[in-house]
Amino acid sequence: MILPTTERYNYHSHTEFCDGRAPMSGMAAAACSEGMEIWGFSPHSPIPVESGCNMQFEAVPIYLEEASRIKGEYEGRMKILTSMEIDYLSTEWGPHVDYFQKLPLDYRIGSVHFVMNQDGIPIDCDGRFERFNQRLKDSFRGDLRYIVEKFYEQELIMIERGGFDVLGHFDKISANASMVDPEIENTGWYQALVDDVIRHARDAGIIFEINTKAFNDKGRFFPNRSLWKELPDKSKGETLEGIIHKKILINSDAHYPEKVNCGRDEAIKLFHEEIINQ
Ligand SMILES: [Zn+2]
Ligand SMILES: [Zn+2]
């Protein structure tokens, strides 16, 4: 995939093709006036279950056409990349399946938003806490640990199946789970799950993202800042400084034109502090 040669990039964004709040042209215009040099569109992929957040199958050709039109429009000013944030649901549906492998995309993001409940039904565990908390009770028999373990299991199987370049917000479940149990991220079992995901993603050569979408509202990045130092493969002599913007991308996951760079500058600044403190 095409890696950034500048800090003025974002590889993760949404538009009206899924749950974003502006057309592609509006997002591109905002990104360009913010001084972005590389802008990646990554609508939530189509999925074979009911979802208000995901792009419809019929819209995919229209999306690809519009992306190619905007690519031309911004040529020489801002590099436009065409991607998708592909939902991993099960071994039957994820970035690895033929449908996504055959789409002409510049790169692919693999993300877990849905977790299978005890009855094998995929439930969206992303999004607002109130909804998550209701689903925890109604769909998961109140078993928070079950959700968290399943979430990381989905991440691991998605990584094992492959077919994508960038691992989207790999500890996103921590936002909602820590609202139920504020200590969850300090438990040994939780940390073991996260370590496993990091190790497998590193070994598979997958690029991590630091997702800055929630930083202004929740003061939290995905992955959490406490995990950044774990991302380099020290056995191969990697350092944080060596892998920033190469094996780690800092993405805003913007859904609104006014948020194209939201949290990115703060993350980059904190990243440099982390490098100094290493
Ligand atoms: Zn996502
Ligand atoms: Zn996203």
Q: Residue 26: which of 275, 265, 258, 264 has the closest Cα?
A: 258
**Residue 158 reports pLDDT greater than 80:** yes
- Nearest listed ligand to the Cα of residue 171: 1
* The pLDDT value given to residue 275: 86
- Nearest listed ligand to the Cα of residue 112: 1
Domains of the chain: 83-277 (3.20.20.140)
Q: Look up tokens 């930083």; give the residue.
A: 215
* The pLDDT value given to residue 25: 97
Q: What is the mean pLDDT of residues 100-126?
A: 97
Rounded to the nearest angstrom, the distance between the alpha carbon of 248 and the centre of ligand 2 is 16
Rounded to the nearest angstrom, the distance between the alpha carbon of 268 and the centre of ligand 2 is 19
**Amino acid residing at 175:** A
Q: Give the single-character DSSP code of 17.
A: T
Query: 13: which 2 tokens?
Result: 């964004």
Contacts of 256 (CB under 8 A, 6+ apart): 20, 21, 22
> What percent of the chain clears pLDDT 90, i.e. is strictly above it?
96
- Nearest listed ligand to the Cα of residue 111: 1
Rounded to the nearest angstrom, the distance between the alpha carbon of 27 and the centre of ligand 2 is 14
- Nearest listed ligand to the Cα of residue 14: 2
* The pLDDT value given to residue 276: 85
pLDDT in tens, 45-95: 999 999 889 999 999 999 999 999 999 999 999 999 999 999 999 999 999
* The pLDDT value given to residue 221: 98
Query: 55: which 2 tokens?
Result: 């792009």
Contacts of 140 (CB under 8 A, 6+ apart): 115, 117, 118, 123, 146, 147
Rounded to the nearest angstrom, the distance between the alpha carbon of 241 and the centre of ligand 1 is 26
pTM, entire model: 0.97
Rounded to the nearest angstrom, the distance between the alpha carbon of 241 and the centre of ligand 2 is 25
Quick check: 228 and 210 in contact, CB under 8 A?
yes
Rounded to the nearest angstrom, the distance between the alpha carbon of 211 and the centre of ligand 1 is 9
* The pLDDT value given to residue 80: 98
Rounded to the nearest angstrom, the distance between the alpha carbon of 95 and the centre of ligand 2 is 15
pLDDT band, residue 36 (cuts 50/70/90)? very high
Chain length of the chain: 278
Rounded to the nearest angstrom, the distance between the alpha carbon of 237 and the centre of ligand 1 is 30
**Residue 278 reports pLDDT greater than 80:** no
Query: 47: which 2 tokens?
Result: 């999925």
Q: What is the mean pLDDT of residues 216-236?
A: 95
pLDDT band, residue 145 (cuts 50/70/90)? very high
Quick check: 159 and 206 in contact, CB under 8 A?
yes
Helix and strand element counts for the chain (H, E): 10, 10
d(CA 49, CA 94): 13
Rounded to the nearest angstrom, the distance between the alpha carbon of 221 and the centre of ligand 2 is 13
Rounded to the nearest angstrom, the distance between the alpha carbon of 166 and the centre of ligand 1 is 12
> What percent of the chain clears pLDDT 70, i.e. is strictly above it?
100
User: Which regions of 21-157 does DSSP assign to beta strands (E)?
Assistant: 38-41, 79-82, 85-87, 109-111, 114-116, 122-124
Rounded to the nearest angstrom, the distance between the alpha carbon of 149 and the centre of ligand 1 is 18
Q: Residue 223: which of 172, 165, 277, 179 has the closest Cα?
A: 172
